[in-house]
Structure 1
Amino acid sequence: MYELIFWKYLEGVYLNHHEVYEAIDEQLFVEGLETLPVDVILNRFHTVFSKWEKVDEDSWKNPSGKGAFQIKTTSQSIKIDCYGTEGKIMNLLVDTMAEFKCPLYDPQVPERYDEMSE
Protein backbone atom coordinates (compact mmCIF):
# COMPACT_ATOMS: atom_id res chain seq x y z
CA MET A 1 0.00 0.00 0.00
CA TYR A 2 1.11 3.56 -0.76
CA GLU A 3 -0.47 6.52 1.07
CA LEU A 4 -1.24 9.90 -0.44
CA ILE A 5 -2.44 12.57 2.02
CA PHE A 6 -3.90 15.98 1.21
CA TRP A 7 -4.82 18.99 3.32
CA LYS A 8 -4.88 22.75 2.99
CA TYR A 9 -3.47 25.25 5.48
CA LEU A 10 -5.37 28.36 6.46
CA GLU A 11 -3.79 31.48 4.97
CA GLY A 12 -0.65 32.46 6.86
CA VAL A 13 -0.44 29.11 8.69
CA TYR A 14 2.35 26.61 8.14
CA LEU A 15 2.79 23.68 10.52
CA ASN A 16 5.07 20.68 10.92
CA HIS A 17 3.85 18.43 8.11
CA HIS A 18 4.65 15.15 9.83
CA GLU A 19 2.81 16.21 12.99
CA VAL A 20 -0.19 17.22 10.86
CA TYR A 21 -0.04 13.83 9.11
CA GLU A 22 0.04 11.97 12.43
CA ALA A 23 -2.95 13.97 13.73
CA ILE A 24 -4.88 13.31 10.50
CA ASP A 25 -3.98 9.63 10.70
CA GLU A 26 -5.58 9.56 14.16
CA GLN A 27 -8.55 11.56 12.76
CA LEU A 28 -7.91 14.46 15.12
CA PHE A 29 -9.01 18.04 14.39
CA VAL A 30 -5.97 20.15 13.48
CA GLU A 31 -6.01 23.86 14.33
CA GLY A 32 -4.79 25.78 11.28
CA LEU A 33 -6.21 23.55 8.53
CA GLU A 34 -9.07 24.55 6.26
CA THR A 35 -12.32 22.65 6.14
CA LEU A 36 -12.46 20.90 2.77
CA PRO A 37 -15.50 20.54 0.49
CA VAL A 38 -15.32 16.75 0.94
CA ASP A 39 -18.55 15.97 -0.96
CA VAL A 40 -17.46 18.10 -3.92
CA ILE A 41 -14.04 16.44 -3.94
CA LEU A 42 -15.56 12.94 -3.79
CA ASN A 43 -17.92 13.82 -6.64
CA ARG A 44 -14.91 14.93 -8.67
CA PHE A 45 -13.23 11.55 -8.07
CA HIS A 46 -16.45 9.82 -9.20
CA THR A 47 -16.22 11.81 -12.45
CA VAL A 48 -12.47 11.39 -13.03
CA PHE A 49 -12.62 7.65 -12.34
CA SER A 50 -16.03 6.97 -13.86
CA LYS A 51 -14.62 4.11 -15.97
CA TRP A 52 -13.22 2.38 -12.89
CA GLU A 53 -15.20 -0.22 -10.98
CA LYS A 54 -16.67 0.98 -7.69
CA VAL A 55 -15.93 -1.62 -5.02
CA ASP A 56 -17.83 0.31 -2.36
CA GLU A 57 -18.64 3.94 -1.56
CA ASP A 58 -14.98 4.85 -1.00
CA SER A 59 -13.04 2.36 -3.13
CA TRP A 60 -12.27 1.94 -6.82
CA LYS A 61 -10.42 -0.72 -8.80
CA ASN A 62 -9.08 -0.67 -12.31
CA PRO A 63 -11.32 -2.90 -14.47
CA SER A 64 -8.72 -3.16 -17.24
CA GLY A 65 -5.52 -3.66 -15.32
CA LYS A 66 -3.91 -3.59 -11.93
CA GLY A 67 -4.46 -1.06 -9.24
CA ALA A 68 -7.05 0.02 -6.73
CA PHE A 69 -7.46 2.84 -4.27
CA GLN A 70 -9.55 3.76 -1.26
CA ILE A 71 -10.37 7.29 -0.11
CA LYS A 72 -10.71 8.11 3.58
CA THR A 73 -11.85 11.57 4.57
CA THR A 74 -12.09 13.90 7.51
CA SER A 75 -13.50 17.40 7.33
CA GLN A 76 -9.91 18.63 6.86
CA SER A 77 -8.18 15.91 4.87
CA ILE A 78 -8.30 13.40 2.08
CA LYS A 79 -6.24 10.23 2.47
CA ILE A 80 -5.90 7.90 -0.49
CA ASP A 81 -4.55 4.40 0.04
CA CYS A 82 -3.21 3.02 -3.24
CA TYR A 83 -2.86 -0.71 -3.84
CA GLY A 84 -0.68 -1.69 -6.80
CA THR A 85 -1.59 1.61 -8.44
CA GLU A 86 0.60 2.77 -11.33
CA GLY A 87 2.49 6.06 -11.10
CA LYS A 88 0.41 7.76 -13.80
CA ILE A 89 -2.78 6.96 -11.87
CA MET A 90 -1.26 8.28 -8.66
CA ASN A 91 -0.36 11.44 -10.59
CA LEU A 92 -4.00 11.73 -11.70
CA LEU A 93 -5.09 11.44 -8.05
CA VAL A 94 -2.60 14.18 -7.11
CA ASP A 95 -3.70 16.37 -10.04
CA THR A 96 -7.35 15.96 -9.04
CA MET A 97 -6.57 17.18 -5.53
CA ALA A 98 -4.50 20.05 -6.98
CA GLU A 99 -7.75 21.32 -8.53
CA PHE A 100 -8.81 22.01 -4.92
CA LYS A 101 -5.44 23.58 -4.06
CA CYS A 102 -4.59 20.64 -1.80
CA PRO A 103 -0.95 19.64 -2.28
CA LEU A 104 0.33 16.13 -1.70
CA TYR A 105 2.03 15.05 1.50
CA ASP A 106 3.87 11.79 0.88
CA PRO A 107 4.48 10.15 4.27
CA GLN A 108 6.75 7.52 2.72
CA VAL A 109 9.37 10.15 1.79
CA PRO A 110 8.25 12.22 3.97
CA GLU A 111 7.70 15.39 1.97
CA ARG A 112 4.93 17.85 1.18
CA TYR A 113 4.84 19.07 -2.40
CA ASP A 114 3.62 22.66 -2.24
CA GLU A 115 4.77 26.21 -2.96
CA MET A 116 6.68 26.32 0.33
CA SER A 117 8.84 23.30 -0.58
CA GLU A 118 12.51 24.02 -1.15
Structure 2
Amino acid sequence: MYELLFWKYIDEVYLNHQEVYESLVENEPVEGLEELPVQVIVNRISNAFAQWEKVDEFSFKNTKGVGAFHIITTPQSIQINCYGTEGKTMNKLCDIMTEFKCPLYDPQVPVRYDEFEE
Protein backbone atom coordinates (compact mmCIF):
# COMPACT_ATOMS: atom_id res chain seq x y z
CA MET A 1 0.00 0.00 0.00
CA TYR A 2 1.14 3.54 -0.77
CA GLU A 3 -0.53 6.31 1.19
CA LEU A 4 -1.25 9.82 -0.10
CA LEU A 5 -2.65 12.52 2.20
CA PHE A 6 -3.94 15.98 1.32
CA TRP A 7 -5.00 18.99 3.39
CA LYS A 8 -5.07 22.76 3.10
CA TYR A 9 -3.67 25.20 5.64
CA ILE A 10 -5.51 28.38 6.53
CA ASP A 11 -3.59 31.36 5.07
CA GLU A 12 -0.42 32.22 6.98
CA VAL A 13 -0.56 28.99 9.02
CA TYR A 14 2.34 26.56 8.84
CA LEU A 15 2.43 23.53 11.15
CA ASN A 16 4.59 20.46 11.60
CA HIS A 17 3.47 18.28 8.70
CA GLN A 18 4.15 14.97 10.45
CA GLU A 19 2.11 16.02 13.49
CA VAL A 20 -0.74 17.18 11.24
CA TYR A 21 -0.60 13.84 9.41
CA GLU A 22 -0.69 11.85 12.65
CA SER A 23 -3.70 13.81 13.91
CA LEU A 24 -5.60 13.47 10.64
CA VAL A 25 -5.13 9.70 10.35
CA GLU A 26 -6.50 9.45 13.89
CA ASN A 27 -9.51 11.52 12.69
CA GLU A 28 -8.64 14.35 15.09
CA PRO A 29 -9.42 17.93 14.01
CA VAL A 30 -6.39 20.16 13.51
CA GLU A 31 -6.56 23.86 14.31
CA GLY A 32 -5.16 25.81 11.38
CA LEU A 33 -6.55 23.63 8.60
CA GLU A 34 -9.41 24.56 6.31
CA GLU A 35 -12.48 22.39 5.98
CA LEU A 36 -12.57 20.84 2.53
CA PRO A 37 -15.47 20.38 0.11
CA VAL A 38 -15.12 16.62 0.65
CA GLN A 39 -18.10 15.49 -1.42
CA VAL A 40 -17.11 17.75 -4.32
CA ILE A 41 -13.59 16.29 -4.24
CA VAL A 42 -14.84 12.69 -4.08
CA ASN A 43 -17.18 13.39 -7.00
CA ARG A 44 -14.31 14.93 -8.99
CA ILE A 45 -12.13 11.85 -8.40
CA SER A 46 -15.04 9.57 -9.27
CA ASN A 47 -15.62 11.42 -12.56
CA ALA A 48 -11.89 11.34 -13.41
CA PHE A 49 -11.82 7.58 -12.86
CA ALA A 50 -15.17 6.79 -14.48
CA GLN A 51 -13.58 3.96 -16.51
CA TRP A 52 -12.53 2.18 -13.32
CA GLU A 53 -14.82 -0.19 -11.44
CA LYS A 54 -16.39 1.64 -8.52
CA VAL A 55 -16.38 -0.99 -5.78
CA ASP A 56 -18.18 1.38 -3.41
CA GLU A 57 -18.43 5.17 -3.01
CA PHE A 58 -14.79 5.40 -1.89
CA SER A 59 -13.07 2.42 -3.58
CA PHE A 60 -11.93 2.12 -7.19
CA LYS A 61 -10.38 -0.80 -9.09
CA ASN A 62 -8.67 -0.63 -12.47
CA THR A 63 -10.22 -3.50 -14.45
CA LYS A 64 -8.23 -2.71 -17.61
CA GLY A 65 -4.83 -2.48 -15.93
CA VAL A 66 -3.30 -2.65 -12.50
CA GLY A 67 -4.09 -1.01 -9.24
CA ALA A 68 -6.83 0.09 -6.94
CA PHE A 69 -7.31 2.88 -4.46
CA HIS A 70 -9.51 3.70 -1.48
CA ILE A 71 -10.42 7.20 -0.28
CA ILE A 72 -10.73 8.03 3.42
CA THR A 73 -12.07 11.47 4.31
CA THR A 74 -12.27 13.77 7.28
CA PRO A 75 -13.73 17.28 7.14
CA GLN A 76 -10.13 18.55 6.78
CA SER A 77 -8.39 15.88 4.73
CA ILE A 78 -8.45 13.40 1.90
CA GLN A 79 -6.39 10.25 2.34
CA ILE A 80 -5.95 7.93 -0.63
CA ASN A 81 -4.53 4.47 -0.07
CA CYS A 82 -3.13 3.05 -3.30
CA TYR A 83 -2.72 -0.68 -3.88
CA GLY A 84 -0.43 -1.65 -6.77
CA THR A 85 -1.29 1.66 -8.39
CA GLU A 86 0.92 3.03 -11.17
CA GLY A 87 2.78 6.29 -10.67
CA LYS A 88 0.80 8.02 -13.43
CA THR A 89 -2.43 7.20 -11.57
CA MET A 90 -1.04 8.64 -8.33
CA ASN A 91 0.08 11.73 -10.27
CA LYS A 92 -3.45 12.12 -11.64
CA LEU A 93 -4.84 11.98 -8.09
CA CYS A 94 -2.30 14.60 -6.99
CA ASP A 95 -3.25 16.82 -9.94
CA ILE A 96 -6.92 16.62 -8.96
CA MET A 97 -6.10 17.59 -5.39
CA THR A 98 -3.97 20.49 -6.67
CA GLU A 99 -7.15 21.85 -8.27
CA PHE A 100 -8.44 22.22 -4.70
CA LYS A 101 -5.14 23.75 -3.49
CA CYS A 102 -4.38 20.66 -1.42
CA PRO A 103 -0.77 19.57 -1.94
CA LEU A 104 0.42 16.03 -1.35
CA TYR A 105 1.91 14.94 1.94
CA ASP A 106 3.80 11.71 1.33
CA PRO A 107 4.20 9.99 4.72
CA GLN A 108 6.52 7.36 3.25
CA VAL A 109 9.24 9.99 2.63
CA PRO A 110 7.96 12.13 4.69
CA VAL A 111 7.61 15.27 2.58
CA ARG A 112 4.85 17.75 1.84
CA TYR A 113 4.91 19.05 -1.72
CA ASP A 114 3.37 22.46 -1.12
CA GLU A 115 5.00 24.46 -3.90
CA PHE A 116 2.28 25.23 -6.41
CA GLU A 117 3.16 26.19 -9.93
CA GLU A 118 1.04 29.16 -10.98
**TM-score by structure 2 length?**
0.96
Aligned equivalent of 2:65: 65
Structure 2: distance between partners of 1:45 and 1:102: 14
Matched, 1:47 2:47: yes
Structure 2: distance between partners of 1:88 and 1:112: 19
Kindly report the root-mean-square deviation, in angstroms, between the aligned alpha carbons of the 2 structures.
0.9
**1:84 Cα offset (Å):** 0.1
Q: Per-residue CA shift, 1:57-108, capped at 9, x if unaligned?
A: 1100001011000000000000000000000000000001000000000000
**TM-score by structure 1 length?**
0.96
Instruction: Letter of the 1:34 partner, please give it.
Output: E
- After superposition, residues 15-30 of structure 1 pair within 5 angstroms as 15-30=15-30
**1:111 Cα offset (Å):** 0.1
Count of aligned pairs = 116
Contiguous gaps of at least 5 residues in structure 2: none
Aligned equivalent of 1:10: 10
**1:46 Cα offset (Å):** 1.1
Aligned equivalent of 2:76: 76
| Partner SS for 2:28 | coil
Percent of aligned pairs with the same residue?
Answer: 68
Contiguous gaps of at least 5 residues in structure 1: none
